[in-house]
Amino acid sequence: MRAVDLIRRKRDGHPLTHAEIDWLIQGIANGAVADYQWAALLMAILWRGLNDDETASLTRAMLHSGHVLDLSRIPGPKVDKHSTGGVGDKTSLILAPIAAACGVIVPMVSGRGLGHTGGTLDKLESIPGFDVRLSTDRFHQVLAQCGLALIGQTDEIAPADRTLYSLRDATATVESIPLITASILSKKLAEGLDGLVLDVKTGDGAFMTSEGEARRLAASMTQICTALGTPAVALLTRMDQPLGNAVGNANEVRECIDVLRGGGPPDLVLLSIELAAEMIALAKIEPDLEHARNRAHRVLQDGSALICFRKVIEAQNGDPHVLDDPEHRLPQAPVHLEVSAPRRGFITRLSASAIGLISMRLGAGRSRVDSIIDHRVGVTLRRKLGEEVEGGDALAIILAADAASAERAAAEFLETAVDFAEQPPNVPPLILDRLA
């Protein structure tokens, strides 16, 4: 085979075979296909697309470019959740203990935040001592002992994706639905799953801002995942405003602990329960979603989900006392500054992307992959979209490392993140659709 012939075929709109796609992916590691040839092929794929068979072949080839976990020694159904990411999106730390408390085995491999969006690993690392880098043996032990384990991606997981993602980033070819599908699924399926729940977000703080594109991505991922033998369900959810009230790493962990103790903001509780219920139903632990939802509520209310979270924190060397005294045991920002409403009115916009950027500039996120982050800082919302406020009411609290950055963030919040009107806005439901 010659790469140039396959690039020409795709350039002219013809499908590639399973064997050809395999050869192209193997060519990344064995040098048969140069980066510049893959770059040209990625552009041809962006324009011409891939059919479902090609997307499935690409996903499978990328998955097998690396190590696939064999969890067969651990009894029980293995199910995970993947979110396309957003601001204040902390459901993983709630639903993983809920699902584990119901008997699901959750081998969760997560990423770090970049730009305005946060990452599960950064949140976990705000728990003093918490180790997200476990050896494969230790990962198996923690999973068997706690029903869940929370780690970062290793170099052995889908290495072809790392090469292709950096080429896509440099060649303006990230926005191809088949390429996104193969990229996400190749990494998730390396966890050796029996089922996958997808939270595909749309709105100003999401990776896919347009609802149509998010819907196409959700349909593509559920279809390809299921075709590859792992049943999948996707929820299409809004990301116009942050999820919950807390943004920033330790701040978000604090809110998760609140939910696991039976409190927390209603939107975060709702989405965490729905996603956990989908995991429990996919794992066939309950016969249908209604029973799965009730079971998820039960383990949240009776404290068993909190016990699971405590067990995994202890097993991964974190300080379990954060659960008893989150105010003092989690990193605390030295400066808290209130942002007040400048006028009376209904909140008609509470921009997730703007609040994510404010939090990133305070130090909670990364503007570059190598930025150092500050776990203490972030934003706590006091009001949400559609609520009515009087002039002077607290809209948010800025959690900052110093007074100057707090002042800057508060001014930016009023300038970029929030709008008011006399009439209440139409707030769309958080969960727009379910695709199975």
Active site residues: 82, 161, 168, 183, 187
Comparing CA positions, the residue from 190, 191, 166, 192 lying closest to residue 179 is 166
Cβ closest to ligand URA, residue 110 vs residue 251? 110
Sign of CA dihedral 292, 297, 301, 304: positive
- Listed ranges 64-72, 177-185, 241-249, 387-395: which one lies at the site for ligand URA (CB under 6 A): 177-185
- Listed ranges 131-139, 179-187, 209-217, 286-294: which one lies at the site for ligand URA (CB under 6 A): 179-187
Q: Which positions from 196 through 235 interact with ligand URA, judged by CB under 6 A? A: 207
Gap between the Cα atoms of 311 and 403, Å rounded? 38
Cβ closest to ligand URA, residue 23 vs residue 207? 207
Kindly state the smallest distance separating residue 59's Cβ from ligand URA, in Å: 12
Cβ closest to ligand URA, residue 208 vs residue 347? 208
Gap between the Cα atoms of 52 and 46, Å rounded? 14
Q: What is the three-class DSSP state of 133?
A: coil
Place of tokens 């479902």: 52
Kindly state the smallest distance separating residue 395's Cβ from ligand URA, in Å: 31
Contact 85, 206 (CB under 8 A): yes
Kindly state the smallest distance separating residue 187's Cβ from ligand URA, in Å: 6
256 contact partners, CB below 8 Å, separation of at least 6: 90, 93, 94, 123, 264
**Other Cβ atoms within 10 Å of 416 Cβ, number:** 14
Comparing CA positions, the residue from 194, 252, 200 lying closest to residue 82 is 200
Cβ closest to ligand URA, residue 180 vs residue 198? 180
Residue choice 184, 283, 306, 357 for contact with ligand URA (CB under 6 A): 184
Residue nearest to ligand URA (CB): 183
Cβ closest to ligand URA, residue 175 vs residue 324? 175
Kindly state the smallest distance separating residue 184's Cβ from ligand URA, in Å: 5
Pattern 359-398, binding to ligand URA, x per CB under 6 A?
----------------------------------------
Gap between the Cα atoms of 310 and 90, Å rounded? 17
For residue 115 the two structure tokens come to: 């730009």
- Listed ranges 61-69, 178-186, 386-394, 404-412: which one lies at the site for ligand URA (CB under 6 A): 178-186
What is the per-residue burial (b if ≥16 Cβ within 10 Å, else e) of 9-38?
A: bbeeeeebeeebbbbbbebbeeeebeeebb
Q: Does 183 bind ligand URA (CB under 6 A)?
A: yes
Q: Does 292 bind ligand URA (CB under 6 A)?
A: no
Q: How wide is the angle at C-alpha 366 spanned by C-alphas 428 and 364, nearest 5°? A: 70
Q: Considering CB under 6 A, how many residues would be counted as binding ligand URA?
A: 5
Q: Does 180 bind ligand URA (CB under 6 A)?
A: yes
Gap between the Cα atoms of 176 and 48, Å rounded? 10
The number of residues in the chain equals 436
Cβ closest to ligand URA, residue 207 vs residue 413? 207
Residues that bind ligand URA (CB under 6 A): 174, 180, 183-184, 207
